[in-house]
């Protein structure tokens, strides 16, 4: 079976300090881009964090899958033709994320 290499990033509009504190619990590879609200001009539903994440990965947002737990993240992904996939963990229900 062949391995499939998927590039991925973390893109959140939370601030860098808070995000770094949360990510300490994970063993992230050093080459995983982490984009925070401190890196962009506008928060979601503006697509800025996803545009920066895609740029750092060398891809287009329209060639990306954005996994989000809020309507704002999915709306932001759609604004740049990214495929938004709703994750039921952020307090929103299936109908809202659809």
Task: Name the nearest CA neighbour of 8 among 59, 73, 84, 47.
Answer: 59
Measured at the CA of 26, the angle between CA 24 and CA 29, to 5 degrees, comes to: 100
In tens, the pLDDT along 16-65 reads 999 999 999 999 999 999 999 999 999 999 999 999 999 999 999 999 99
pTM above 0.85, yes or no: yes
pLDDT confidence of 3, banded at 50, 70, 90? confident
Q: What is the CATH number of domain 10-97?
A: 3.40.50.1000
Angle CA 27–7–91, to nearest 5: 70
């Amino acid at each position: 079976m062949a391995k499939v290499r998927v590039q991925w990033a973390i893109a959140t509009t939370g601030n860098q300090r808070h995000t770094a504190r949360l990510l300490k619990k994970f063993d992230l590879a050093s080459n995983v881009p982490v984009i925070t609200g401190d890196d962009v001009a506008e928060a979601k539903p503006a697509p800025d964090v996803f545009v920066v994440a895609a740029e750092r990965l060398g891809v287009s947002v329209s060639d990306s899958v954005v996994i989000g737990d809020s309507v704002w993240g999915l709306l932001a992904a759609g604004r740049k033709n990214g495929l938004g996939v709703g994750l039921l963990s952020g307090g929103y229900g299936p109908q809202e994320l659809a």
